[in-house]
Structure 1
């Protein structure tokens, strides 16, 4: 092992320890017994090269990670670990729950319900109490409230999407406004910047909603996110959804930036 490799491993172990808070055991111990190279690559690349980078806080990286894993729905053990890790780096349990409620819009209710079930188990194991939160927009105000949040987050791009459904599925357009923005985006527990960060992470990981991904990258900028933060988010996605998902999202990011500059 060269000095450089040793530095990457040491840096990665330190980053991993932020999530684990356990000096005696690691989630990678069993992996290391069976496939030590896999365990080493996880530490060196996933944590030493990526997680330890500046540009996003540890808490932001964990919200990105649980959003991606929750949306994909194919890695419950890893989602369980990262929900615990999110708590260990300062994410509030309410923010974790809100992340999964938010996923109902972009990954569907089954994925969100499965993620909520995992969060509930982790909170119980750690003795974390979460007060059930009931936040309801008045039924008569849902469309008006949703319209305000849609305009604030997505601007004309969002309203154009809704208007474009008027001739074929006007009720779907109304649902987007009333549910996605009136019921969900208006909730407390996450800032709008965090909601757009979670949205971009989920859409990037899924890889099935390219136009919406571009719209919400612009939305991330609209609510205070920066270009450097978005690049870091998409690099983080490479670890949990693979390089193709990250590269495709970065290609969409390039189009968004070019449109802004011109």
Structure 2
């Protein structure tokens, strides 16, 4: 395989004819980047282009490397990701990286949508009400993780129940996971990617490795997600997350 030719083909497919400013000022670095991202990683593994772009968008959001958000939003649209799916992928980041970081990425996505004549706001994907969000979230949480959630709720210290029970079930899983446009299998893959990109969250990464398997994602899917993320988060965080995958799925 000629990496340079493959890189050019995939770069054109995803980014169109947009010139690389880095190629003018730092051609060696640009060549290394493009041949790795588009010449090798884009050709490997079990992920399709739509999954790759969603993973890339949440990885950039989680790590707050936002300079490429607009380019990859356009790339996502180019390979068939819908505006609602793009928005939902970013909204999925909110419980894990916080609202300010999520909103910073959303504003850039909105700029792209406006430039392309995509109406804002995108149609709401909400399914819960104020009355149902806790119970709906708890049901979703248990669908992913099983009855361990009951034990977690029962053992949460009284002064911590708002965080470990109420907010987690109602906000993270009720307000976010129950939304339409992305299924639970995709949301879990994106959550694994978001938490892995943050670094220092190994306990949560391991929990979501098991959650991914429960939702039907394979060990190879998770490895391929980490490969997609590698150029954006570097080896230390990638290898730490890979270690979590191997620790949970030792026999896979």
Q: Indicate conservation of the 8 Å contact 2:7/2:35, yes or no.
A: yes
Kindly state the Cα deviation for residue 210 of structure 1 after the two structures are TM-superposed: 1.3
SS of the residue aligned with 1:140?
Answer: coil
Q: Indicate conservation of the 8 Å contact 1:162/1:176, yes or no.
A: no
State the match for 1:12 in structure 2: 7
CA distance in structure 2 between the partners assigned to 1:40 and 1:230 by the alignment = 27
SS of the residue aligned with 1:139?
Answer: coil
CA distance in structure 2 between the partners assigned to 1:233 and 1:134 by the alignment = 25
Query: Where in structure 2 are there 5+ consecutive unaligned residues?
Result: none
RMSD (Å) for aligned C-alpha atoms: 1.7
Kindly state the Cα deviation for residue 202 of structure 1 after the two structures are TM-superposed: 0.6
CA distance in structure 2 between the partners assigned to 1:55 and 1:243 by the alignment = 20
**What TM-score results when the alignment is normalised by the length of structure 1?**
0.90
Query: Where in structure 1 are there 5+ consecutive unaligned residues?
Result: none
CA distance in structure 2 between the partners assigned to 1:235 and 1:165 by the alignment = 36
1:127-177 CA-partner distances (Å, limit 9, x unpaired): 223534162512222221111100111224444444442444011121101
Cα pair distance change 1:35/1:238, threshold 3 Å: same
CA distance in structure 1 between the partners assigned to 2:31 and 2:22 by the alignment = 9
Q: Indicate conservation of the 8 Å contact 1:158/1:215, yes or no.
A: no
State the match for 1:31 in structure 2: 22
CA distance in structure 1 between the partners assigned to 2:150 and 2:60 by the alignment = 29
Q: Indicate conservation of the 8 Å contact 1:157/1:215, yes or no.
A: no
State the match for 2:49 in structure 1: 58
CA distance in structure 2 between the partners assigned to 1:163 and 1:207 by the alignment = 29
SS of the residue aligned with 1:248?
Answer: helix
SS of the residue aligned with 2:216?
Answer: coil
State the match for 1:191 in structure 2: 183
State the match for 1:78 in structure 2: 68
Kindly state the Cα deviation for residue 213 of structure 1 after the two structures are TM-superposed: 0.9
CA distance in structure 2 between the partners assigned to 1:136 and 1:223 by the alignment = 20
* 1:153 to 2:144 alignment: yes
State the match for 2:77 in structure 1: 87
Cα pair distance change 1:61/1:161, threshold 3 Å: farther
**What TM-score results when the alignment is normalised by the length of structure 2?**
0.93
Kindly state the Cα deviation for residue 21 of structure 1 after the two structures are TM-superposed: 2.4
State the match for 1:116 in structure 2: 106
- Structure 1 residue corresponding to 2:38, chosen from 47, 55, 71: 47
SS of the residue aligned with 1:242?
Answer: helix
- Structure 2 residue corresponding to 1:255, chosen from 244, 247, 250: 247
Cα pair distance change 1:102/1:10, threshold 3 Å: same
Q: Indicate conservation of the 8 Å contact 2:53/2:75, yes or no.
A: yes
* 1:165 to 2:160 alignment: no
The number of aligned residues is 250
CA distance in structure 2 between the partners assigned to 1:185 and 1:139 by the alignment = 15
Q: Indicate conservation of the 8 Å contact 1:150/1:159, yes or no.
A: no
* 1:98 to 2:80 alignment: no
